[in-house]
Structure formats: structure tokens, C-alpha cells
Amino acid sequence: MAERTSHATARPLPELAILLSTLLWGTLWVPVRGLHGASDNGAWATSLGFLLPLLVLLPAALAGWQRTPGGLRSCTAAGFWLALGIALYAEGVARGQVARVVLLFYLTPVWSIVLARIALQQPITHRRLATIALGLAGMLVIFAGGGGSGSGVSLADGMGLAGGIAWAIALVAANRNASPTSFERVVAQFLFLAPVYFLVASLPGAESAGATGSPGAADALPWLLAFSLLWMLPVVWLTVFAAARLEPGRFAILLMFEIVVGIASATLLANEPLGAREIAGALLVLGAIGVEIQIGPGA
């Protein structure tokens, strides 16, 4: 309970942590695609990238397990759902158009607020409905321009949508159990990430699919280290820190800033199209974040 009581005296920290995490989530596609491009098998290479942070954390995790064996066990359910959400998101941005996958993933606030109402009896206020409406309006404006390829919903799009649902389930599960520390929550995710991602990446429909091969060329090593230690380890820690201190609806809506980061980075670095609709949608999403920041917990 110390984590939840301490944040009352330093309340901006969870919001700052989640906003910083959006810079990493929104550019996660860069090292993921780098790994897929530099290795002989993207599924193996990226799975190894998810495994390395666990190896870094393992000594401290084992020591903590001996002191409080119930702490890590109590957050494995949330850890699994978060791992599944991350795996689906990572493979979605590797296979599909970044903006579409990110936008479908960020239907998360809808699922998280509804689930929080059912599981945690948290109220859905008029201002929160307005916040969700702004976010959804931004997504609808962007999708009104078509899907780029015009081929309908792809498997990558489905991964983005399913990843958001898994993420929402994890947020509610994390808020129902206040006993684990942030460290235990981080370790719980990395316990599942590598095998769950490999299963997701083994689905047919992309070059990354398949259960054979190896990480391959030495060219993949810089991408592997960057993905593991510069992206995944800090972004999961920042996200877990914030998720343990914010109720699910507020957390999910603040995380929506990743939409802006994802669209901007994909436009600048991957030459994905950015038109008036995308800009208008991004502004609506930013408006949703601004409204949510003014609401405060329990409003």
C-alpha cells in the first residue's frame, strides 16, 4: 500500500511517467522493424529482445521472490494480459500501417472505462464521457480518410484492436491488486512477453511468421540491444509505475498521446501519409488528453 499512499504527495509523477512512456511506445515500431529487417527471422529476434530485460532483472527478482514469494505470484494475471497486449501491438506495427494499428489499439479507453465500471464500480461521469467522445472523434476523423491500402481491416489492424482489449483487462486487473510493487509488476510482464510474442508472431500473414530460423546476422545486434534496453525496459517500467497509481480510465486516456507520437514518427521516418484528416484527428486526441488532465481522480 505504500506505493498508493505515497503518490498523493507527488501526484504529477504518474502523469509525467505515462507521458514519457508514450514517446517510447509511439516509436516502438522503429526498433521492431529494425530487428525484422536486420535478422534472418523477426519472430526469433524480437522474442529474444523481450527476453533480455528479464535476464537483467532476474537476480533481483529471485531475491525478492525469496523474501515475499506471494508478491510476484499475485500480479501474474495482470502481467499476462499486459504481455499479450504488448505482443499484439508490437507485431501489429511490424506488419501493418503504424497509424492504423495505433489508433485501433487506442480504443482502449472505451474498454477500460467500461471494465472499471463493472469490476471496480468506478463511475462514468459526464466529463469522462466527453473525454472519450473527443478521443473517439479523433480516431473517426482519421479513419474517414480511408485505410491507405483500401483493402479493409487487415490482420495487423485486428492485432491492434485485440491488443487494446488485452491492455484494458490488464489495467483493471492491476488496480484490483494493490500489494505488488512496481518491480514485481514489471517482472511479471517480462515472464510472459517472449513466449507470448513468439506465438503471436507465428500467426500466418507476414514474413515474420514461422517457428524456424535464428536471430541471424550481426547487423541485428545493435537493434536487439536498443529494443531491449533503450525501449522495452524503461517503457514497461514507466507504464507499470503509472498504471499502479492511476485508475484505468485516466491512465488509458493519458496514454492516448502515443497516437500523436506514432503518427508523427511514422510520417517522418517511414513516409506514411499524413493529411488534413490525420492532423485534425490528432488535435482532437490532444483535446481529450487536456480535458482528462483537468478532471483528476474520481471526477
- Do the domain assignments include residue 132? no
Q: Higher model confidence: residue 191 or residue 74? A: 191
Q: What is the pLDDT of residue 5?
A: 41
**Higher pLDDT pick, 180 / 291:** 291
Average pLDDT, integer, range 39-51: 88
Comparing 41 with 163, the larger pLDDT belongs to 163
Asked if residue 271 belongs to a domain, the reply is no
pLDDT at 69: 53
Contact of 237 with 186, CB cutoff 8 Å: yes
Side chain identity, residue 67: R
Residue 84 lies in a domain: yes
If one counts the domains in the chain, the total is 1
In angstroms, rounded to a whole number, what is the distance separating the alpha carbons of residues 115 and 119? 6
116 within some domain: yes
pLDDT in tens, 132-186: 888 788 778 866 755 444 445 678 888 998 999 998 888 777 766 656 677 777 8
**In degrees to the nearest 10, what's the CA dihedral of 245, 248, 251, 255?**
140
235 lies in some domain: yes
Rounded Cα distance, 221 and 163, in Å: 27
- The answer as to whether 256 is a domain residue is no
What pLDDT sits at residue 153? 64
73 or 263, greater pLDDT? 263
Positive or negative, the CA dihedral 292, 274, 103, 193 is negative
- What is the reported pLDDT for 23? 94
Q: Which residue has the higher pLDDT, 136 or 227?
A: 227
For residue 85, the model assigns a pLDDT of 94
Does a structural domain hold residue 277? no
Domain hosting residue 55, numbered range: 12-124+152-247
What pLDDT does 293 receive? 61
Lowest-pLDDT range of 71-75, 126-130, 289-293: 71-75
pLDDT of residue 195: 94
Residue 114 within a domain:
yes
- Based on its alpha-carbon atoms, the radius of gyration of the chain, rounded to whole angstroms, reads 18
Which one has a higher pLDDT value, 58 or 162? Answer: 162
Per-residue pLDDT at 11:
61
Rounded Cα gap, residues 95 and 29, in angstroms: 10
Q: What is the pLDDT of residues 183-213, one digit of tens each?
A: 777 888 899 999 999 999 988 865 443 334 4
Instruction: Report the alpha-carbon distance of residue 225 to residue 48 in Å, rounded.
Output: 10
- Determine contact, residues 79/174, Cβ cutoff 8 Å: no
